[in-house]
Structures are given as structure tokens and as C-alpha cells.
């Protein structure tokens, strides 16, 4: 019986972690930057090699300052996460995940196209009986035309530091 309970606990953890992965994409695409920040209340997010951001307000401020919100109130993007490999610690309270991402965008100026692709390396932990991001490191591998997405050129410019 304990084996069945352990399997159910691991399955519940897997579903909760996948929901966090997908919520991140939805928050970014819909320009819900405060909700995005909430995902990192107990964790950090940043590009590989850059200073990670921590907490609700820092994450929300960064995304609001660096992403172009269009007339419909969204980024006109679709962040697609694929091939997640989730490994849950035997304690059942920590996990890691690796996945790929592709971001599609279409605007009045840019036809539908992939604008960036890469990998997410994530760590998760349980806080107050709920799974949360502990860390998300974004590895950008391919960059296309991001002129209607970001306020800086990802190929050329360093990731900006946003003052609080």
C-alpha cells in the first residue's frame, strides 16, 4: 500500500511541476508580469551567465521593462515548452527539470515565426505544502528576429539590470 501512496505522491509532484512550467509560459505570453513574479516568490530566474532575479517585484519589474506589450495587451507570443525531463528527489520535496523552449511571435510588423529557442534548467521545492520554483536558468541557443519582443537586442546587448 505504501508503494501505491509513494507513486501517487510522485505523480502529484510531476503534475504540479508541469503546471508551473506551463503557467510561466502563459504569464509571459499574456503580459501578466505580477503573476509571473508570484511564480518566483520563493525562487530565482535568470539567463545563464546573468545575475538571477529574486522575488515577485524584481521579476515583475524586469519583465515589464524589457518586453514589448502590444495593443491587445499581450506580447503576441506563444512560449512552447517541450520534452520535459523531471527528476523528483527521494525526499519528495525537491525536484529538477530540463526542457526545451521555442517562442513564436506574430505582430503587424513580424509574420508568424520562431524568434528564439533554447533550454530551461529548473529546480523546484515544496514551500507550505505546494511546489514552487526554486530556480529557473534560461539557456538561449538560437535567436531570430526579436525586434517586436524585447526592448534590447539579445544577440548584441547584455541583459539589462533593472533598478528598483
Burial label for 111, CB within 10 Å (0-12, 13-18, 19+), is exposed
Q: Which residues pair with 119 in a beta bridge?
A: 100, 139
Q: pLDDT per position in the chain (164 positions), as tens?
A: 778 888 888 999 999 999 999 999 999 999 999 999 999 999 999 999 999 999 999 999 999 999 999 999 999 999 999 999 999 999 999 999 999 999 999 999 999 999 999 999 999 999 999 999 999 999 999 999 999 999 888 788 777 777 65
E runs forming strands in the chain: 44-47, 53-54, 77-88, 94-105, 113-127, 130-143
CA dist 34 → 51, 57, 149 (Å): 20, 7, 18
**Domains of the chain with CATH codes:** 2-143 (3.10.450.50)
**51 CB neighbour count, 10 Å cutoff:** 10
pLDDT at res. 158: 72
- H/E stretch holding 20: helix 2-29
pLDDT at res. 164: 59
What is the 3-state composition of the chain as percent helix, strand, coil, each rounded to the nearest 5? 30, 35, 35
3-state secondary structure of 69: coil
Q: How many alpha carbons lie under 13 Å from residue 118 in its C-beta half-sphere?
A: 16
pLDDT at res. 133: 99
Amino acid at each position: 500500500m505504501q508503494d501505491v501512496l509513494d507513486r501517487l505522491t510522485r505523480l502529484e509532484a510531476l503534475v504540479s511541476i508541469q503546471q508551473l512550467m506551463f503557467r510561466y509560459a502563459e504569464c509571459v505570453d499574456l503580459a501578466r508580469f505580477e503573476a509571473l513574479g508570484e511564480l518566483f516568490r520563493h525562487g530565482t530566474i535568470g539567463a545563464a551567465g546573468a545575475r538571477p532575479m529574486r522575488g515577485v517585484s524584481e521579476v515583475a519589474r524586469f519583465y515589464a521593462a524589457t518586453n514589448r506589450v502590444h495593443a491587445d495587451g499581450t506580447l503576441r507570443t506563444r512560449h512552447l515548452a517541450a520534452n520535459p525531463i523531471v527528476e523528483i528527489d527521494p525526499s519528495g520535496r525537491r525536484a529538477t527539470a530540463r526542457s526545451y523552449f521555442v517562442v513564436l511571435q506574430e505582430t503587424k510588423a513580424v509574420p508568424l515565426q520562431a524568434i528564439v529557442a533554447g533550454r530551461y534548467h529548473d529546480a523546484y521545492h515544496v514551500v507550505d505544502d505546494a511546489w514552487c520554483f526554486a530556480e529557473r536558468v534560461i539557456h538561449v541557443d538560437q535567436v531570430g528576429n526579436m525586434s517586436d519582443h524585447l526592448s534590447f537586442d539579445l544577440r548584441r546587448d547584455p541583459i539589462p539590470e533593472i533598478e528598483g
